[in-house]
């Protein structure tokens, strides 16, 4: 089965389950975390070993044991990994103050309502607006959704487009291959980033070849292009914010240090810049584990957040685009660099 950034089906054949319901022992899941977490090299595993063992011994049911694994995530300060057991997700998350929640929650909820729904428009007659939400797609659907994104951008090839606004503010992540493959016209040919271990070793590069997206040697999004746009040479304003996370953040990193590109808005969600592998231990037990960091086309690695070049805070407007301050600034910047 194809190995991808967010879908790595890895079935462990460990039969000494902690209970009759579980397909694998909890200490075996712990070893997977210890061996593969992006935080492994910097962790104090002696302390974590002792903590986990004591909580596992004290556990009286499966949920107690799962919470022992969650405590491991807490010790690693890993907010991006989680365990799903019987369709309920368990993880460690940073708290959020009421004032920030009041701002972020409406944007997040709107983003959830727009999953898999690309939005495009031409603004002021010459600027292409692309709002890329999160994409929750798997298997062969990845290629189809990447193609759909590509085609939605390609249809503007005959327009006199002078610049692009790429809006990632509601992108909460999902399938990175569909997103980056779909944006190949903007990224251009060649390498534009890579996945890194905690110690800075490249696990695999990110590349575009003839509009197809590759992670290492694996063609992760297969695109058939019917247009030539030159969009990869146009200036791009990338809009980001505190809801931008996971593969939404990785998509933002793909445009960092691209020529004629400026980031506008607010920093992305803290702690969600990792790439995750997905482990399936059984029908009712899976794990989403942070295993890599990502670097841009110049080799800069982003371990916490992606910051904007121009900070603009305030209400986001996704229906009446002309009333959105960040979009208006982006259009002003795009116009200014044409002269």
Are residues 164 and 237 in contact, defined by beta-carbon separation less than 8 angstroms? yes
Residue 299, pLDDT score:
96
Residue 339, pLDDT score:
53
Tokens for 23, please give them: 């397909």
Are residues 267 and 308 in contact, defined by beta-carbon separation less than 8 angstroms? yes
Burial bucket for residue 334 (CB in 10 Å: 0-12, 13-18, 19+): buried
pLDDT digits (tens, 9 = 90+) for 4-36: 433 333 333 333 333 445 778 999 999 999 999
18 within a domain of the structure (yes/no)? no
Tokens for 63, please give them: 């949920």
Tokens for 152, please give them: 């939605």
**190-196 vs 127-131, strand pairing mode:** unpaired
Q: State the CB neighbour count (10 A cutoff) for residue 29.
A: 25
196 within a domain of the structure (yes/no)? yes
72 within a domain of the structure (yes/no)? no
DSSP-H helix ranges across the chain: 26-36, 45-58, 62-76, 98-113, 141-154, 176-182, 184-187, 247-255, 325-336
279 within a domain of the structure (yes/no)? no
C-alpha distance across the termini of the chain, in Å: 51
Q: How far apart are CA 283 and CA 153, in angstroms?
A: 38
Residue 268, pLDDT score:
97
Q: How far apart are CA 333 and CA 69, in angstroms?
A: 47
Q: State the CB neighbour count (10 A cutoff) for residue 41.
A: 9
Q: How far apart are CA 322 and CA 124, in angstroms?
A: 10
The CATH number given to whatever domain includes residue 255 is: 3.90.226.10
β-strand partners of 39? none
Q: How far apart are CA 77 and CA 54, in angstroms?
A: 19
DSSP state of 135: B
Q: In what order do the strands lie in the sheet with 127-131?
A: 119-123, 127-131, 163-167, 236-240, 261-265, 310-311
71 within a domain of the structure (yes/no)? no
Neighbouring residues of 218: CB distance < 8 A, sequence distance ≥ 6: 2, 3, 4, 204
241 within a domain of the structure (yes/no)? yes
Ramachandran class of 246: left when φ > 0, alpha when ψ lies in -120 to 50, beta otherwise: left
The whole-number mean pLDDT for each consecutive block of 10 residues of the chain, a chain of 339 residues, reads: 39 35 85 97 96 96 96 97 96 80 90 97 97 95 97 96 98 96 96 95 96 97 92 97 96 97 97 94 94 97 96 92 97 88
Q: How far is CA 286 from the centre of its chain?
A: 19
150 is in which domain, residue-wise?
98-274+291-336
Output phi, psi for 285, to 5 deg.
-145, 115
Number of domains observed in the structure of the chain: 1
207 within a domain of the structure (yes/no)? yes
pLDDT digits (tens, 9 = 90+) for 294-321: 999 999 999 999 999 999 998 899 999 9
Q: pTM value?
A: 0.90
**218-221 vs 212-215, strand pairing mode:** antiparallel
Q: State the CB neighbour count (10 A cutoff) for residue 99.
A: 8
300 within a domain of the structure (yes/no)? yes
Q: How far apart are CA 131 and CA 309, in angstroms?
A: 19
């Amino acid at each position: 089965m194809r190995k991808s950034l967010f879908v790595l089906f890895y079935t462990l054949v460990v039969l000494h389950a902690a209970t009759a319901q579980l397909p694998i022992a909890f200490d075996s899941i712990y070893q997977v975390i210890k061996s593969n977490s992006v935080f492994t090299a910097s962790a104090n595993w002696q302390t974590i070993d002792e903590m986990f063992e004591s909580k596992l011994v004290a556990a009286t049911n499966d949920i107690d044991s799962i919470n022992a694994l969650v405590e491991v995530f807490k010790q690693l300060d890993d907010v991006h990994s989680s365990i799903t057991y019987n369709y309920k997700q368990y993880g460690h998350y940073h708290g959020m103050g009421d004032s920030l929640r009041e701002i972020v929650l409406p944007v997040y909820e709107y983003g959830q309502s727009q999953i898999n729904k690309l939005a495009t428009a031409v603004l002021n007659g010459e600027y292409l607006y692309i709002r890329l939400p999160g994409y929750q797609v798997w298997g062969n659907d990845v290629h189809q959704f990447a193609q759909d994104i590509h085609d939605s951008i390609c249809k503007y090839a005959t327009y006199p487009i002078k610049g692009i606004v790429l809006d990632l503010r509601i992108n909460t992540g999902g399938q990175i291959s569909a997103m980056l493959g779909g944006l190949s016209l903007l990224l251009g040919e060649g390498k534009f980033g890579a996945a890194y271990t905690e110690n800075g070793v490249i696990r695999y590069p990110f590349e575009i070849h003839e509009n197809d997206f590759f992670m290492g040697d694996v063609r992760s999004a297969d695109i058939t292009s019917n247009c030539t746009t030159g969009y990869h040479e146009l200036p791009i304003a990338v809009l980001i914010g505190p809801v931008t996370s996971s593969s939404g953040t990785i998509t933002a990193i793909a445009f960092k240090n691209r020529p004629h590109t400026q980031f506008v808005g607010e920093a992305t969600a803290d702690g969600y810049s990792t790439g995750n592998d997905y482990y399936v231990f059984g029908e009712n037990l899976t794990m989403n584990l942070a295993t890599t960091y990502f670097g841009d086309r110049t080799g800069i690695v982003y371990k916490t957040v992606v910051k904007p070049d121009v900070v603009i805070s305030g209400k986001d407007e996704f229906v009446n685009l002309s009333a959105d301050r960040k979009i208006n600034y982006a259009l002003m910047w795009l116009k200014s660099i044409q002269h």
